[in-house]
């Protein structure tokens, strides 16, 4: 509580006038930092990198912390040039690596970082003195400087200057304009677009598909296209769409039917082209579009099934999804400080009442105070999650693909959810026989997706249960990560808010990776949460 209160003084600039008093408060924070929980430090870091001008003492306090706390802060927070120089000169290797990922680095900071990384440094004077005998000091020799050194460091006459960050920003803006122009052309040429993996399951569906199926596009990801669309006038026991998808050839004007809800049926003309990997020639799936071949049927929203959201159809095993409104995320980000100020006061005074700090408290009042603390901590975690994962969900963070070990990403995700598992308490562990799968994706996105899957499983599982996460390699080349939910059969209460929020974040982040997150079974209650990669992995 003291750490939180002192941080609020720095955040709201309610510090004493004397510099010595301010330094004393900062030193108290430094003493308290190792003693407070990791979740509280992560929350403070998330609050700082969401501010336009965070207090520099708090930033300096947290850049000395573990990478889980200081990493996102160094990458995303608004840092002063002087602070960047200090990190580049005295920071750890992990801190300098995080700083190098920023796009707003001043030239002197970039030179410091890249110089340490690529340029040989002169030997320090102390080291050279140790290597040289004291009785025979080395004398300066004018002939010791060969002329070839000057030739080696002289840049070529026709050297092309490297592009500046301003040039890169202009190029990125041009790409965005061209992409928007292309999307406009595509939208006017077809009613909705789709993309499948090797097995014919949807990995992308445009918004226009709501007319076809009466479901939001997020609910369609992971479903098999031949199960959603029935070819018109097809013979009994035959699925012409499935046969066409198995040929790996372009097709056009294939007439199919979709059932929105009830007896409403729409007739569509389908066209698609196969997609192959340029590097190895492997078939990746289909990309296509659908054009309405008749007047649209009225689509009605589907009724809920049990306590979960409905699946697409009984024949499919695709997952239900909680849509995330970008405007809500932006509003919470902008109001995060206004929300946290009264929330910190509620938590602080409720903890004082629950602990009897000002005197004895009746048992039922202590129980009420503990409930307020638990509810406030839930809201605090939800705000922290929104601040942390909103850039990934909204697409503001660019994808950086490289080879990633799934097991290693799972261990990072388990470390990120360790505090939530301990509070439940729930034991989350990786199966000993987990497949050592390596996939090509953005590690930050993969770790965030897995952390949200684990967080949802922990929030929905019963206390004192063990969740053994497994990794499976499928015959079609995809990789599945399965996180079980340990929940009694008799439990029929509504899902926790953290479960819904975490699962929604996991699905949105997976969608950016062209992956799918769904629950098994598709109805209620689910027994496991599954992340499926693309079949080309």
pLDDT in tens, 237-279: 567 788 888 888 888 888 888 766 545 677 888 888 888 877 6
Parse the chain into domains and list their residue ranges.
Answer: 2-118, 189-292, 326-532
Say what the pLDDT of residue 337 is. Answer: 64
Higher-pLDDT residue of 124 and 181 is 181
Q: Does position 477 have pLDDT exceeding 50, yes or no?
A: yes
Region 226-246: what's the mean pLDDT? 74
* Phi, psi values for residue 115, rounded to 5°: -65, -40
pLDDT band at 530 (very low <50, low <70, confident <90, very high): very high
Cross-strand bridge partners of residue 404: 439
Q: What pLDDT does residue 354 have?
A: 86
Sign of CA dihedral 208, 210, 216, 218: negative
pLDDT of 356 above 70:
yes
The Cα–Cα gap between 221 and 512 comes to 12
Residue of 17 and 145 predicted with greater confidence: 17
Please state, for a pLDDT cut of 70, what percent of the chain lies above it: 69
- Mean pLDDT value across residues 285-290: 88
Query: Model confidence over 117-174: pLDDT tens digits?
Result: 444 444 444 444 444 444 444 444 444 444 444 444 445 555 445 555 556 666 666 6
Per-residue pLDDT, 135 = 44
Range with the poorest average pLDDT among 88-102, 299-313, 499-513? 299-313
pLDDT, residue 225, reads 84
CA–CA distance, 531 with 450 (Å, rounded to integer): 8
Residue 520 confidence (pLDDT) above 90: no
pLDDT at 153: 46
What pLDDT, on a 0 to 100 scale, did the predictor assign at position 154?
A: 47
- In this prediction, residue 484 has a pLDDT band, given cuts at 50, 70 and 90, of very high
Q: In this model, does residue 28 exceed pLDDT 80?
A: yes
pLDDT per position as a tens digit, 72-110:
788 878 888 888 888 888 877 778 878 887 777 888 888
CA 242 to CA 502: how far, in whole Å?
Answer: 34
How many other C-beta atoms are found inside a 10 Å radius of the C-beta of residue 130? 10
Specify the pLDDT at position 124. 47
DSSP state of 462: P
Tokens for 119? 């340029």
Please give the DSSP secondary-structure letter assigned to residue 263.
Answer: T
In this model, does residue 526 exceed pLDDT 70? yes
Cα separation of 389 and 44, whole Å?
15
Alpha-carbon gap, residue 452 to 381, rounded angstroms: 12
Higher pLDDT, 43 or 179: 43
Q: How confident is the model at residue 180 (pLDDT cuts 50, 70, 90)?
A: low
With tokens 């002192």, the residue in question is 6
Arithmetic mean of pLDDT over the chain: 75
Measured distance between the N- and C-terminal CA atoms of the chain, rounded to whole angstroms: 47
- The CA distances from residue 144 to 134, 139, 299, in Å, are 21, 10, 85
The residue that leads in pLDDT, 285 or 328, is 285
Please give the average per-residue pLDDT across 464-486, as a whole number.
Answer: 88
Q: Are 481 and 453 in contact (CB under 8 A)?
A: yes
* Cα 246 to Cα 476: distance, rounded to the nearest angstrom: 13
Of the pLDDT bands very low, low, confident and very high (cuts 50, 70, 90), residue 363 is: confident
pLDDT above 90 as % of the chain: 4
Closest CA to 452 of 367, 358, 407, 388: 388
449: confidence class by pLDDT, cuts 50, 70, 90:
very high
**What's the pLDDT score for residue 431?**
86
User: What is the pLDDT, as a whole number, of residue 109?
Assistant: 83
In words, the CATH class of domain 189-292 is alpha beta
Residue 498 has pLDDT above 70, yes or no: yes
Regarding predicted confidence, which is higher, 384 or 127?
A: 384
Q: How far apart are CA 362 and CA 346, in angstroms?
A: 19
| pLDDT value at 350 more than 80 | yes
Residues in the chain: 537
The pLDDT, as a whole number, for residue 488 is: 65
Which helix H or strand E contains 274, and what residues bound it? strand 265-276
Residue 480 CA: distances (Å) to CA of 383, 432, 460 = 29, 16, 20
- The region of weakest confidence among 258-262, 350-354, 463-467 is 258-262
Say if CB 36 and CB 5 are below 8 A apart.
no
Architecture of domain 326-532 in CATH?
A: 2-Layer Sandwich (3.30)
């Amino acid at each position: 509580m003291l750490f939180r209160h002192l941080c609020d003084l720095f955040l709201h600039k309610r510090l004493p006038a004397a510099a010595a008093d301010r330094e004393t408060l900062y030193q108290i924070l430094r003493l308290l930092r190792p003693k407070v929980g990791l979740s509280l430090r992560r929350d403070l870091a998330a609050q700082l990198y969401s501010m336009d001008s965070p207090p520099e003492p708090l930033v300096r306090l947290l850049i000395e912390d573990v990478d889980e706390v200081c990493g996102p802060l160094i990458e995303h927070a608004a840092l002063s040039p002087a602070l960047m120089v200090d990190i580049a000169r005295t920071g750890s290797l992990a801190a300098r690596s995080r700083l190098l990922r920023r796009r707003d680095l001043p030239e002197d900071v970039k030179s410091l970082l890249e110089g340490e990384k690529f340029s040989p440094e002169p030997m320090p004077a102390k080291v050279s003195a140790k290597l040289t005998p004291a009785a025979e000091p080395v004398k300066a020799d004018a002939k010791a400087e060969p002329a070839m050194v000057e030739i080696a460091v002289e840049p070529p006459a026709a050297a092309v200057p490297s592009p500046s960050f301003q040039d890169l920003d202009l190029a990125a803006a041009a790409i965005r304009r061209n992409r928007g122009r292309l999307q406009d052309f595509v939208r006017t040429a077809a009613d909705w677009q789709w993309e499948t993996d090797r097995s014919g399951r949807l990995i992308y569906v445009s918004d226009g598909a709501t007319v076809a199926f009466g479901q939001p596009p997020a609910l369609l990801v992971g479903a098999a296209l031949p199960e959603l669309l029935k070819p018109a006038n097809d013979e009994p026991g035959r699925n012409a769409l499935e046969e066409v998808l198995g040929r790996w050839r372009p097709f056009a004007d294939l007439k199919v039917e979709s059932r929105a809800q009830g007896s409403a049926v729409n007739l569509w003309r389908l066209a698609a082209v196969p997609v192959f990997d340029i590097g190895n020639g492997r078939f990746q799936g289909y990309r296509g579009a659908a054009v309405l071949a008749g007047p649209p049927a009225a689509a009605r929203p589907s009724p809920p099934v049990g306590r979960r959201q409905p699946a697409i159809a009984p024949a499919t095993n695709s997952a239900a999804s909680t849509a995330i409104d970008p405007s809500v995320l932006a509003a919470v980000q902008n109001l995060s400080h206004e929300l946290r100020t009264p929330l910190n006061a509620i938590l602080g005074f409720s903890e004082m009442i629950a602990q009897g700090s000002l005197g004895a408290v009746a048992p039922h009042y202590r129980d009420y105070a503990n409930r307020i603390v638990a509810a406030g901590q839930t809201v605090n975690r939800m705000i922290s999650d929104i601040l942390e994962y909103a850039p990934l969900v909204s697409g503001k963070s660019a994808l950086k693909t490289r080879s990633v070990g799934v097991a290693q990403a799972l261990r990072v995700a388990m470390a990120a959810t360790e505090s939530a598992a301990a509070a439940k308490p729930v034991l989350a562990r990786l199966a000993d026989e987990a497949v050592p799968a390596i996939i090509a994706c953005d590690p930050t996105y993969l770790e965030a997706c897995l952390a949200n899957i684990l967080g949802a499983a922990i929030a929905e599982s019963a206390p004192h249960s063990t969740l053994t996460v497994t990794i499976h390699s499928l015959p079609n080349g995809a990789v599945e990560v399965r996180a079980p939910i340990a929940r009694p059969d008799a439990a029929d209460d509504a899902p926790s808010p953290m479960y819904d929020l975490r699962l929604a974040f996991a699905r949105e982040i997976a969608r950016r990776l062209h992956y799918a997150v769904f629950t098994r079974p598709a109805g209620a209650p689910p027994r496991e949460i599954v992340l499926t990669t693309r079949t080309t992995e």
